[in-house]
A and B are shown apart, each in its own frame.
Chain A
Amino acid sequence: MQEPTHSAGQTMKRPGALREALINLAILLLLVGVAIAAHLAGQGFTVTLATKVAILALAGVGLNLALGYGGMISFGHAAFFGIGGYVTGILASHAADGTPVFTLPFTVMGSNDMLGIWPMAMLVAGAAAGLIGALSLRTKGVYFIMVTLAFAQMIFYFALSWSRYGGEDGLSFYVRNNFPGMNTFDPIQYFAICAGLLALALLLTAMVTQSRYGLALQAVRQNSLRAAAVGIRPYAIRLTAFVLSGMLTGLAGSLYADLNRFVSPAMLSWHMSGEIMVLVILGGVGRLCGPVAGAAIFILLEHLLGGVSEYWQALLGLLLLVIVLFSPGGLIGILTGRARHG
C-alpha cells in the first residue's frame, strides 16, 4: 500500500516560511481577538464557541504530531480524547460524592482540581497510547489506520457497557473543576485557560519538531529505511511521537469534558476520530497552526450551516469533498499558496 508521500522537511528554511509564520500569528490573534470582543459585547455563547475551537484545536495539534509530522494516519484518536474526558469525569464525580476512585493497591481520591486532573488525564491517555501504539505500529499503511480504529472501537464499546460510569448515558458532573486563582465558570476565564494550554502545546510542538528528535521523526516519515541506515530506530521514534500525541489529545479531552461538564461514549466514537482528523486536514496537515485554522473553520461551518438548513451535515460533507478534491494543502495551503506541505 502506498504511504503518504511527503517531500520537503518542515524545519528547512524556505520561501514562504515567514509568510506562514505571519499567518499562524494572525490565526491565533484572531481567535483570541474574537473571544475578547465577544466577551466585551456580552456574547457568552460566542466565547464558548471560541473555547470549543481552542479545545478541538488542541486535540488536532495532538493528532497532527502523529499524522503530520510522524506520517502515522491514526483513525483512533477519539480514544485518547475520550479517555482524557473520562478520567476527568470520573475524578470529578468521585470528588463530588467523596468516595475514592479505587483503593487497591493504593487509594486514589477523586479530585476537582484541574492541576491534578490534567496530569492524570495525560498520563492515562499516554499509557493507552503507548499500549495501542506499541501494537499498532507493527503494521503499516491501511492496516495501521484500521488497527487504530479497532482499538478505539474497543474502548468505545467498553465505555458503552461500563454501567458504573453511566454506560451509554454518559456521566455528568455538575460543577466545573477548579483552577487556582480563577473562576472557571466565567466563559472568558475558561477560554483563557484553554487558549493558554493551546499556546503551550503549539510551543511544545514547534520545539519538538525543530529538535534533534523532531528531525529524526520526520526523517522516519520520509524514508524509514534510510533513517534506520543512519542509526535511527523508526519504531521507538514513532512510538514516542504517538504517545506524545495521545497525551495532548487526552488533555484536550479533559478540557472538553470540563467545558460540557459531561462525558459520554460519543467522545470515543469513530465520528469523533473522523472529526479531529477532518479539522487537521482542513487546516493543513503538518503545519503548526493547521489544526487551529481547521478547528475554527469547522466550528464556524457547523454553526453557520446549522442556521441554513436542518440537513447541514450534508452541506458540510459536500464542502469537505470540494476541499479534499481541489485543495489538498488545506486552508493554510491556500493562504501560503503552496499545494502540499513537506
Chain B
Amino acid sequence: MMLFLMAAGLTLVFGVMGLINLAHGSLFMVGAFACAWVAAATGWFWLGLLASLVAAAGAGALVEMLVIRRLYRRDHLDQVLATFALILVFSEGTRWVFGSFPLYLNLPSALSGAVTLPGGLVYPLFRLVIIAVGAAVAVGLWLLITRTRLGIRIRAGEADREMIAALGVDIARLYTIVFALGAALAGLAGALVGSIQSVQVGMGEPVLILAFVVVVIGGIGSIKGALIGALLVGMTDTLGKALLPDLFARFSQAPGGDAIGASLASMLIYILMALVLILRPQGLFGTGA
C-alpha cells in the first residue's frame, strides 16, 4: 500500500504532465525526515505526519516553480538529467542538515500494538492503518480526478495544454498544484514508511525504482493501474522472497540452491515487469504512450 501511495503520486505527475521525475524519491525522503523531526521535537506523531505533508508539498511546489517548469517542453533526456541532479542536491542537503545517522520514529501508543484478525492472524495495527490510509487515498484521488472541478482541469490539461490555457485556466499554477499534490503523496508515504523503518538519506531511491516498476506495469497516468500494479508488485515480491529460496533449496542438490533462489526472488518483480511489457507494451491500464 505504501508502494501505491508512492506510485500514485508518481503516476499523477508522470501521466498528467508527461514528466519523468526521478526526484520523487527525494520528496519521499523529505516527508520522512520532516515527520521524524517534528515528531521528535513536539513528541506528537500526528503533527509530524502533517508536517511531512506540508514539507513535501512545499518542496514539490518550490522545485516545480524553480526547475521543473522549464522542462515540460524539453525531451525526456533533459528531465532525467535535471531530476537526477535534484536527487544529488536533496540527498546532500538532507545529509548536511540532519547528518548521516538514521533517525527513528516512535509510534503513538494508540497505533502500536497488534490486533487479531478474524481467522486468528495477529497483525500489527499500524500496518493496517497504512492499508486504510492507502485505500482512503485511492478513493480520494479517484473522486478528485473524476468528480471535482480541479480534476476536470487536470484531465483537460493532460489532453490539451494550449486549449485550456486559452479557456482562462492558469495552467502554470495548475501544474504547480498537481506537482505539489504528487509530492505530498510521496511525503505521506515517506512518513508512514519512516515509522516502520529508520529514516535516512537515500531511503527514497529503492522505493523510487519500485514505484517506477509499479507505474510502468499499471500503465502511465492510470491511478487504477497504480493501485493494481502496487498490489501485484507487493505480493510478487513478498511471496517470491518467502517461497522461492525454500523451493530452490528443496529441488536443487547444489549447495548454493537457496542463494540462487534468493537472487531470483529479488529479480522477480523486474521479470514480472518485463513480462507485462512484452505482452502489453503500454502497461496493464495504459492508454498508449
Q: Of B95, B209, B282, which one neighbours A143 at CB under 8 angstroms? A: B282
Find chain A residues with CB under 8 A from B84 CB: 274, 277-278, 320
Find chain A residues with CB under 8 A from B205 CB: 270
Find chain B residues with CB under 8 A from A278 CB: 81, 84-85
Assess whether A317 is in contact with B289, with CB atoms less than 8 Å apart.
no
Known: A2-B75, A153-B209, A160-B266. A146 touches B88 (CB 8 A): no
Assess whether B76 is in contact with A141, with CB atoms less than 8 Å apart.
yes
Q: Of B78, B209, B256, which one neighbours A149 at CB under 8 angstroms? A: B209
CB distance from A122 to the nearest CB of B (A): 24
**CB-CB contacts of B6-17 with A at 8 A, as 1s and 0s?**
000000001000
Known: A147-B274, A285-B77, A325-B70. A317 touches B266 (CB 8 A): no
Assess whether A277 is in contact with B81, with CB atoms less than 8 Å apart.
yes
Find chain A residues with CB under 8 A from B283 CB: 143
Judge if A199 is at the interface, Cβ distance under 8 Å: no
CA–CA, A157 and B82, complex, Å: 26
Assess whether A142 is in contact with B20, with CB atoms less than 8 Å apart.
yes
Assess whether A162 is in contact with B81, with CB atoms less than 8 Å apart.
no
Closest to B202 in A: A271
Find chain B residues with CB under 8 A from A270 CB: 205, 209
Find chain A residues with CB under 8 A from B78 CB: 281, 324, 328
Which of B105-113, B157-165, B173-181, B212-220 contacts the other chain?
A: B212-220
Find chain B residues with CB under 8 A from A154 CB: 267, 270-271, 274
Judge if B207 is at the interface, Cβ distance under 8 Å: no
- CB contacts under 8 Å to A, within B146-170, are none
Find chain A residues with CB under 8 A from B92 CB: 311-314, 317
Judge if B250 is at the interface, Cβ distance under 8 Å: no
Q: How many residues of B contact A (CB 8 A)?
A: 48
- Among B67, B88, B92, max chain A CB count under 10 A is at B88
Find chain A residues with CB under 8 A from B75 CB: 2-5
CA–CA, A158 and B264, complex, Å: 7
Assess whether A143 is in contact with B289, with CB atoms less than 8 Å apart.
yes
**CB-CB contacts of A317-342 with B at 8 A, as 1s and 0s?**
11111001100100000000000000
Assess whether A324 is in contact with B76, with CB atoms less than 8 Å apart.
no
Find chain B residues with CB under 8 A from A317 CB: 85-89, 92
Assess whether A325 is in contact with B256, with CB atoms less than 8 Å apart.
no
Assess whether B281 is in contact with A143, with CB atoms less than 8 Å apart.
yes
CB distance from B182 to the nearest CB of A (A): 16
Judge if A127 is at the interface, Cβ distance under 8 Å: no
CA–CA, A140 and B267, complex, Å: 23
Assess whether A163 is in contact with B259, with CB atoms less than 8 Å apart.
yes
Assess whether B86 is in contact with A321, with CB atoms less than 8 Å apart.
yes
Assess whether B77 is in contact with A138, with CB atoms less than 8 Å apart.
no
Find chain A residues with CB under 8 A from B14 CB: 142
Find chain A residues with CB under 8 A from B91 CB: 313-314
Q: Of B96, B270, B271, B277, which one neighbours A139 at CB under 8 angstroms? A: B277
CA–CA, A142 and B281, complex, Å: 11
9 residue pairs bridging A and B, Cβ less than 8 Å apart: A2-B76, A5-B75, A135-B278, A140-B281, A146-B212, A150-B270, A277-B77, A278-B85, A325-B70
Nearest 5 CB-CB pairs, A to B? A317-B88, A314-B92, A320-B85, A161-B263, A317-B89
